[in-house]
Amino acid sequence: MFQWTQKWVFALLSCLGMQNALAESTVNMPYGVTRMSHDIYNLHMITFYICCGIGVVVFSVLFYSIYKYRRSRGAKAANFHEHPGVEIIWTLIPFLILVGLAIPATIVLKDIHNTNESDLIIKITGYQWKWKYEYLDQGISFFSNLATPQIQIDDPQKTKNEWFLLEVDNPMVIPVHKKVKILLTSNDVIHDWWLPAFGVKQDAIPGYINENWIQVDTPGIYRGQCGELCGAYHGFMPIVVQVVPEEEFEQWVAAHMLNKTAVSNGRKAT
Amino acid sequence: MNLTDDMATAHDHADHGPAKGLKRWLFTTNHKDIGTLYLLLSLTMFFVAGIMALVVRIELFEPGKVWVTPEFFNQMTTLHGLIMVFGVIMPAMAGFANWMIPMMVGAPDMALPRLNNWSFWLLPFAFLLLSLPLLRELVGMASHLIGLNLFAGAGAAPDYGWTFYAPLSTTYGPDSTDYMIFAIHMMGISSILAAINIVVTIFNMRAPGMTWMRLPMFVWGWLVTAFLLLAVMPVLAGCVTMMLMDRHFHTAFFEAAGGGDPILFQHIFWFFGHPEVYILILPGFGIISEVVQTFSRKRLFGYSFMVAATITIAFLGYIVWMHHMFTTGAPYAAQLFFMYATMLIAVPTGVKVFNWVTTIFKGELTFETPMLFALGFLVMFTIGGFSGVMLAIAPADYQYRGSYFVVAHFHYVLVSGSLFAIFAGVYFWLPKWTGHMYNETLGKWHFWLSAISMNLTFFPMHFVGLAGMPRRIPDYALQFTNFNQIATVGAVIFGLSQLLFLAIVIRSCQKHKAGVNEHLPDNVWDGGRSLEWTRLPTPVPYHTFETVPEIGPNDTH
């Protein structure tokens, strides 16, 4: 029943033609590459269009009145000043519109909380000012630092990289089509892991472990930033996620394991 | 009291007008003087915090470091926010309250005049305390240039945003945090005392016949605001006291390592913080109601529904604070409750907007500067309301939160909302206060420049926010460059246009001081309905309503 309602609501939203309208532009929320980001995008657009509709009605009446009822055009003030009927109408109609908005919002929100049945678990820890990714089942763990050279930040004359401030040394790597559960916490102050293309934003709070999930259908490189002020270099701890086919992910894991073994062997040797 | 006594007192007061010089302002218990002091403080802090905003905007003119360090950038955003909220909007609204509430309810003064003096004079010292670390830093920088090293190693000014989230402001905060804590305590005491004074004045000092449903909307707006202040300022005081304890007395309210809870901070802060946004806007709603009905020459439409809407907004304002915390890992049920409650606020706010528009409908409109600002408010505050509805939708809020979309939203409701309401109020009542009509041409320039540059500054922020630019960053990725440059240009124009406002206000005050009498009519805008227009001369004398007025059905709002 729940699933059915959900499908129906989103089929309806998609029919309204708001899907992908302004995707990938720099003036709107990205349509993204996950079901979650699509759902959020559709909610965002339907709310936006409803607001536009109400705006058109209210501003039309306002601008018509400004044009029509000016003293310089000989207008004389009318005498009415109350009408309980219209008050009730313009209380009820917005209320009903809001109920209509609340239904899909409730459904999507439930989906955000559904972190069950994940294929992979990654623990993400915020540090001032970098991210640490730990693949709990694979035993892989590494830090991800800003890769933009400092000189490009300090010197306005220097040519900047294409992904200025959105590039890291070690990106998080996840397999395509797999449900990845992320666990978020922090080592110091509150950070926030935000990746717009996935429709995911979740605070990393010291003493807490927050959950969210990602399931990407298109391989590629996706970028985001810290979303909560965390000190002087809040703007300099980007998030880069590389989504790869499953075989490639297995190879990446194997390479990391090998690397780790090599490192620990090396330690033993010395 | 018989009539002779009454006349005698009136005569007595007329004999000794205001004291001269500094003493007048230091020791005054006159509600008009104190109102003026509040407004002057607000005007001063407006330019101080405005310059900070310009530092921020100029740094953001292009990617890469433009002129300040990330550390200094954060201090600028923090102090800009704190001063604009506590030092500009709140004192300006308190200034209007002091000037207008006694005159609007037919009282000779506020109920507690000495308390009134104290609640004002706490404020300049509170802001001095808040600004000291920054002043210390600036003096240090300047002394460094001439080879001295004053205040070396004194540390930074507050730099964790106006929301000063723990543990960034506690365990990781600079030493200047303590200055901020005590400054906030002082502002809190000032606000609580002012709120008590306003509540007592409105409850006890209404002239005979001034029934509740005859009160002007401005008075209603402030009454509800005063109750909000009384409820939430102590919570903020508690919040900063807990921070002080964590910083110096080994408690761990907000420190996870000691068994404390960083999210507790956010609950307490936003339990204050959300009603605070209604504290900033409800008196503005009142001003807009007065201005709109005056320049429409028509009674406010749906008065009783406007009162009900104000009270409903305040009530809902208490129970929505967690919508600021949707991404903190809140449980589903809590998110649902706060999402629904937040969406509900759109209903009474919508009722207010619809009533204002209907007041204008079939009116007899003229477009002097106060009305222009009120119309600007109506359009742009509504746009801010729309982005507010969008932010209320929790799943979408996951994407808006912490981005420039939020910055755009709250500047639409605070700049083109609260600030435009303040401008409307100043142009509306300045002729009544000073007996001098400001320069209408300059006033209109001020409006159009402000309205256009305000949109130039804040509208592009919606775009960069949606496209993924976080707020409070000193440097940004290349794709956000164009809109940031537009915003910076807009901000500079907006800043410069405010010099016009300064010039207009100074000119009016000068003429008033020189005693120029322009013989303006008592009802300056020939549509004013409240007592200051119908019962008092222009300019209003230093003491008003020494004889208690009788209010009848014709004195309706």
B503-551 per-position pLDDT tens digit: 999 999 999 888 888 889 999 998 899 999 999 999 999 999 999 999 9
pLDDT at site B554: 73
The verdict on whether omega for the bond into residue B25 sits within 30 degrees of 0, i.e. cis, is no
pLDDT at site A158: 84
CATH: 1.20.210.10, 1.10.10.10, 1.20.120.10, 3.40.50.300. Which one for B35-555? 1.20.210.10
In angstroms, the first-to-last Cα distance of chain A is 63
Structure tokens given for B102: 């006694």
Tens of pLDDT along A163-215? 999 999 999 999 999 999 999 999 999 999 999 999 999 999 999 999 999 99
Across residues A250-264, what is the average pLDDT?
79
Does A24 reach chain B within 8 Å, measured CB to CB?
no
pLDDT at site A24: 45
Tens of pLDDT along B124-139? 999 999 999 999 999 9
Whether B147 shows a pLDDT value over 90: the answer reads no
Given A57, A79, A113, the domain boundary residue is A113
pLDDT at site A155: 87
pLDDT at site B219: 97
Tens of pLDDT along B343-399? 999 999 999 999 999 999 999 999 999 999 999 999 999 999 999 999 999 999 999
| Domain match, A144 and A230 both | yes
Catalytic residue among B31, B32, B80, B543: B80
| Cβ distance of A192 and B398 shorter than 8 Å | no
| Cβ distance of A200 and B65 shorter than 8 Å | no
Helix (H, G, I), strand (E, B) or coil at B140: helix
* B492 or A263: which leads in pLDDT: B492
Tens of pLDDT along B91-121? 999 999 999 999 999 999 999 999 999 999 9
Given A66, A88, A113, the domain boundary residue is A113
| CA distances from residue B551 to B255, B302, B522 in whole angstroms, order as listed | 58, 21, 18
| Domain match, A130 and A251 both | yes
Across residues B61-72, what is the average pLDDT?
92
Across residues B470-492, what is the average pLDDT?
95
pLDDT at site B4: 41
Domain coverage including residue A106 = 2-113
Most B-contacting residue of A9, A52, A76, A98 (CB-CB within 10 A), to test interface:
A98
pLDDT at site B18: 78
Q: Which helix (H) or strand (E) holds A122?
A: strand A120-127
| Cβ distance of B62 and A98 shorter than 8 Å | no
Given A62, A85, A113, the domain boundary residue is A113
| Domain match, A127 and A261 both | yes
| Cβ distance of B354 and A90 shorter than 8 Å | yes
pLDDT at site A7: 56
Pairing of strands A239-244, A220-226: antiparallel
CATH number at residue A124: 2.60.40.420
* A7 or B254: which leads in pLDDT: B254
Quick one: closest CA in B to A84, which residue? B302
Across residues A229-251, what is the average pLDDT?
96
Across residues A44-65, what is the average pLDDT?
97
pLDDT at site A15: 47
Mark whether B349 is an active-site residue: yes
| Domain match, A153 and A41 both | no
Does A101 reach chain B within 8 Å, measured CB to CB?
yes
Q: Chain B, 306-335: which have a CB under 8 Å from a chain A CB?
A: 327-329, 332, 335
Across residues A103-111, what is the average pLDDT?
96
Whether B300 shows a pLDDT value over 90: the answer reads yes
Residue at A181: amino acid letter: K
pLDDT at site B151: 79
Does A42 reach chain B within 8 Å, measured CB to CB?
no
Q: Which residue among A47, A106, A234 sits closest to B336, beta carbon to beta carbon?
A: A106
Count of domains for chain A: 2
| CA distances from residue B129 to A121, A253, B133, B178, B193 in whole angstroms, order as listed | 49, 55, 8, 10, 20
Distance of alpha carbon A109 from alpha carbon A111, whole angstroms: 5
Across residues B220-237, what is the average pLDDT?
97
| Domain match, A132 and A92 both | no
Catalytic residue among B289, B296, B359, B382: B289
Distance of alpha carbon B483 from alpha carbon B464, whole angstroms: 7
| Domain match, A104 and A149 both | no
Does A81 reach chain B within 8 Å, measured CB to CB?
yes
| Domain match, A134 and A12 both | no
Across residues A95-120, what is the average pLDDT?
96
Across residues A109-132, what is the average pLDDT?
95
| Domain match, A19 and A149 both | no
pLDDT at site B404: 97
Sign of CA dihedral B373, B379, B383, B385: positive
Tens of pLDDT along B184-202? 999 999 999 999 999 999 9
Mark whether B450 is an active-site residue: no
Whether B332 shows a pLDDT value over 60: the answer reads yes
Q: Which residues contact A156 (CB under 8 A, 6 or more apart)?
A: B62, B64, B65, B66
Quick one: closest CA in A to B163, which residue? A229
Whether B157 shows a pLDDT value over 50: the answer reads yes
Does B119 reach chain A within 8 Å, measured CB to CB?
no
- From A72's Cα to the closest Cα of chain B, the distance in A is 8
Distance of alpha carbon B343 from alpha carbon A104, whole angstroms: 14
| Domain match, A108 and A162 both | no
| Domain match, A96 and A207 both | no
Pairing of strands A191-195, A180-186: unpaired
Share the mean pLDDT of chain B. Answer: 93
